[in-house]
Amino acid sequence: MFKERVKTTAMILLFVNLIVLTCRLWFGGGLMREEISDFARSLPLVGGLFHDEKISIPREMLSRPRKILINDGSLWIAYYNTDLAFSPIENRTGQIIRAFLRGETVSSKPVSLREWQAAIENVSIYVEMPIAYTTDMLCSVMGVDGENAPADISAIRDFVILPSTGDTGVFLLVRDAYDGDNARIYQFPRESFSLPAGDLAIYTENNTDYYEPAFSTGVEPEGASLDPMVLFFDSRPSTADLIPANPIAAPEVESRVLGCFFKNVDTAGRYEDGEVSVFVENDGDARIYPGGLFEYRAADENKGVELAESYSSYYETVNSAISFAEDLWGRVSDQPLSVLVSSDLTQSGGGRIHIAMDYYQDGRPVAVRLGGDGFEPMNHGIEMDIADGKIVSYRQLFRSYYGSGTSVLKGDFVEALNYFVNGFSIRESPVITDIYIGYMDRGGSEPLSACWLAELGGDDRVYDYVGEEEAGAADGGEAPPADEEVST
Amino acid sequence: MKYIGALLAAIMVMLSGLSVFAAHPATIGAEEVSTASDLIVVKKPETNNSATTKTTYGVTGTGKNGVSVAYYRYDGSTYNAILNSDGAPVQTKIGAAKVFYKQMSLTEGHNKFAVRAEYNGLSQVVYFDINLLKREVLDNVNSFTYDVQSIFTGWI
């Protein structure tokens, strides 16, 4: 009799447990607790067991650093967010940054730019996010309750982590993305994290690509300033060529795309303007160019595509914008949308929100530069404007990229620097904020070779240098020559 | 006549290319005489004798646009031109940014290098010695690296 009761009780407990877990799975966002480590979350099998969600590359990348520069005391090694070895060091730095955002530091004080750079010169980890965020936005994208987040820095883009010692805990330096003189150092309790300096060698061993921040090289180019964190390097890696394809070339795809913008695609007017298909509805119009450029414009700000409630938070609106772009992409491709948000998320207050995204392929960014008769120059893969929760303008260069063979990058870092400095010298006090390897898509159908890309402070565009023999793409700030433009 | 002209033009083109990169000798002595002193300024290392814990070291400097720069490593008796992976001497021409940059791999102890600049028949050689120290040795004997922890002394 007793045995039967035990069995019955066990059965009831199991049954209740089953119901509770099922409810959590269906309505509670999964079975994994917040405390489960990032490592466990990153395991595809574990993640797949507990979350039946499609991977969202733009959301995923929003919370991941763009690059991590490790100084182990003997050399600098840089990891980019698509490197295979990126996750272990990212998980470790992510824990520290999340703890900072939760307000778990014990004290802080301002630091000078010299001290910031000195920290990077010593054993340290420099973490650079892909864009700048408000503290609230960074908390949201990193899944942290930001109630106690420090409010000393208004726009965050990068951090420096100093290892713990026997006497002190980990230090974290944060600086304002728009005001380099405003930087602070925060200290964690000694018991919070253990990150001994010796641990950093784990991440640098067997790595032969050496990097050096511009401020450490002691040189200042003439004709342009370099951001102190532009990374010098000496290697010329082999890179894949990319073949671009236009996934909306097929006529049947048009209506699928338009369905995201028009209430009734069938009743929309259509006419051809040269090679451009123009679609008109009462609430807005759309244009599809033969090269894959799609443009939508609402008739006025009240008639845009409903994206989010007008009272939605900044984060919710950005999140909805990403979902919209992914839904749209899902109508034309089976592959996930491989883009990164590339515009800073530092807006405060309401008003119109501009969001730009850029393609990312084979671990490297693909910059877009379109210009020509009949449409505004376009400098990103996706550009959208949102007013009161409605998309009032949306542009996308629809692109799928396929890798094809490899080639050695033309030119080296200094050669590219020369080229950019020469091109930018006609400007007043130009500041080159970054130089890196990527691709430039000008809307054509020819394969894209990897090239050197440069970003300039206060300029939304990315400039390219393709090597000495094929130089001529970067333009020093003026519109590229007409013969370089490929009409879309 | 046309052929002779084309041949001469081809030879001139070949020689003009060589003039940029063939001016530097394959080896130089330890006391090469410079005929100019203002073609380049080596910015890093800052002094002729320096110490580091970096196993790979970025040698940097500034110079006039158009100056050709070559790099040499001392083997105990002479300075040999540093070769790239193709076996060709590493030589660069200073451009619009007026900077040069070359990563040197270091071995423990003294590493002697020379940077040679060449421009319009003038040459300048800068010699320097980089001593690769173990981290703990450097911390004991030299405080040229900024001691970050000292920033916070008495603060916590």
Per residue in A89-106, pLDDT tens?
999 999 999 999 999 998
3-state secondary structure of A55: coil
Q: Do residues B61 and B42 lie in contact, with contact meaning Cβ atoms separated by under 8 Å?
A: yes
- CB-facing half-sphere around the CA of A395: CA atoms within 13 A: 19
Please report where in the chains the tokens 């061993």 appear, as a residue: A205
Residue B99 to residue B43: CA distance in whole angstroms:
10
Give me the sign of the Cα torsion angle A98, A100, A103, A105. Answer: positive
**Cβ-defined contact of B97 to A421 (cutoff 8 Å):** yes
Contacting residues of B for A417, CB less than 8 Å apart: 95, 97, 99
Predicted pLDDT at A48: 47
The residues spanned by each domain of chain A are 2-50, 63-208, 220-246+399-488, 247-359+372-398
CB crowding A100-139: b at 16 or more within 10 Å, else e? bbbeebeebeebeeebbbbbbbbbbbbbbbbbbbbbbbbb
Closest residue to B99, CB basis, from A109, A168, A219? A219
Q: Do residues A453 and A440 lie in contact, with contact meaning Cβ atoms separated by under 8 Å?
A: yes
Reported as a single tens digit per residue, the pLDDT across B62-117 is 999 999 999 999 999 999 999 987 888 899 999 999 999 999 999 999 999 999 99
Does a structural domain hold residue B150?
no
Q: Read out DSSP for A393-408?
A: EEEEE--EEEEEEEEE
Q: Read out DSSP for B67-121?
A: -EEEEEEE-SS-EEEPB-TTSSB-EEE--TT-EEEEEEE--SEEEEEEEEEEETT
Q: Do residues B67 and B145 lie in contact, with contact meaning Cβ atoms separated by under 8 Å?
A: no
CATH number of the domain bearing residue B139: 2.60.40.10
CA distances from A406 to A52, A355, B85 (A): 36, 33, 18
Contacting residues of A for B151, CB less than 8 Å apart: 111, 115, 118, 185
Asked whether the predicted pLDDT for residue A454 surpasses 80, the reply is yes
Considering only CB atoms, which residues of chain B are within 8 Å of chain A? 43-44, 46, 53-56, 58, 60-62, 92, 95-103, 135, 145-149, 151-152, 155-156
Query: Which amino acid appears at position B20 of this protein?
Result: V
Q: Chain B residue with minimal CA distance to A71?
A: B54
Please report where in the chains the tokens 């970054």 appear, as a residue: A434
CATH 2.60.120 corresponds to the domain A220-246+399-488: no
Reported as a single tens digit per residue, the pLDDT across A397-444 is 999 999 888 888 888 999 999 999 988 877 888 899 999 999 999 999
CA distances from B68 to A99, B20, B34, B100, B102 (A): 51, 7, 14, 10, 13
Nearest by Cα to A38 from A77, A78, A93, A102:
A93
Predicted pLDDT at B141: 45
Residue B97 to residue B20: CA distance in whole angstroms:
18
Predicted pLDDT at B2: 54
Asked whether the predicted pLDDT for residue B13 surpasses 90, the reply is no
Read off φ and ψ for residue A17, nearest 5 degrees: -60, -40
User: Can you name the residues that pair with A79 across neighbouring β-strands?
Assistant: A68
Closest residue to B95, CB basis, from A121, A216, A418? A418
Angle at A233 between CA A412 and CA B46, to 5 degrees: 110
CA distances from A50 to A31, A93, A295, A463 (A): 6, 24, 38, 43
Cβ neighbours around A363 below 10 Å, total: 15
Predicted pLDDT at A204: 82
Residue A117 to residue A449: CA distance in whole angstroms:
35
Asked whether the predicted pLDDT for residue A32 surpasses 90, the reply is no
Cis peptide before A65 (omega within 30 of 0): no
Partner B contacted by A422 (CB < 8 A): yes
Cβ neighbours around B25 below 10 Å, total: 16
Query: CB under 8 Å to B64, separation ≥6 — which residues?
Result: B38, B39, B40, B94, B98, B119
Helix (H) or strand (E) holding A418: helix A413-424
**Cβ-defined contact of B99 to A417 (cutoff 8 Å):** yes
**Cβ-defined contact of B95 to A119 (cutoff 8 Å):** no
Reported as a single tens digit per residue, the pLDDT across B19-68 is 445 479 999 999 889 999 999 999 999 899 998 887 888 999 999 999 99
Angle at A161 between CA A55 and CA B54, to 5 degrees: 110
Angle at B91 between CA B36 and CA A210, to 5 degrees: 115
Predicted pLDDT at B143: 41
Greatest alpha-carbon span in chain A: 94
Reported as a single tens digit per residue, the pLDDT across A49-89 is 444 457 899 999 999 999 999 998 878 899 988 777 888 89
> How close A276 gets to chain B, by Cα (Å)?
42
Q: How many helices (H) and strands (E) does chain B have?
A: 3, 10
Predicted pLDDT at A33: 46
Q: Chain B residue with minimal CA distance to A75?
A: B54
* Burial of A312 from C-beta contacts in 10 A (0-12 / 13-18 / 19+): middle
Asked whether the predicted pLDDT for residue B155 surpasses 70, the reply is no
* Strand bridging mode A107-111 / A375-378: unpaired
- Helix, strand, coil share (%) of chain A residues, nearest 5: 30, 30, 40
Q: Chain A residue with minimal CA distance to B138?
A: A73
Asked whether the predicted pLDDT for residue A362 surpasses 60, the reply is yes
> How close A204 gets to chain B, by Cα (Å)?
12
Q: Do residues B94 and B101 lie in contact, with contact meaning Cβ atoms separated by under 8 Å?
A: no
Domain total of chain B: 1
Confidence tier at A349 by pLDDT (50, 70, 90):
low
Q: CB contacts < 8 Å between A and B, how many? A: 104
Q: Do residues A223 and A424 lie in contact, with contact meaning Cβ atoms separated by under 8 Å?
A: yes
Predicted pLDDT at A3: 75
3-state secondary structure of B56: strand
Residue B128 to residue B106: CA distance in whole angstroms:
13
Q: Does the ipTM surpass 0.85?
A: no
Range of the domain at B119: 2-144
Q: What is the SS3 string spanning A207-259? A: CCCCEEEHHHHCCCCCCCEECCCCEEECCCCEEEEEEEECCCCCHHHHHHHHC
Compute the CA torsion angle A81, A86, A87, A89 (nearest 10 deg). -120
- Please give the structure tokens belonging to residue A438: 């990527």
Confidence tier at B147 by pLDDT (50, 70, 90):
low
- Tell me which DSSP letter residue A482 carries: G
Predicted pLDDT at A111: 92
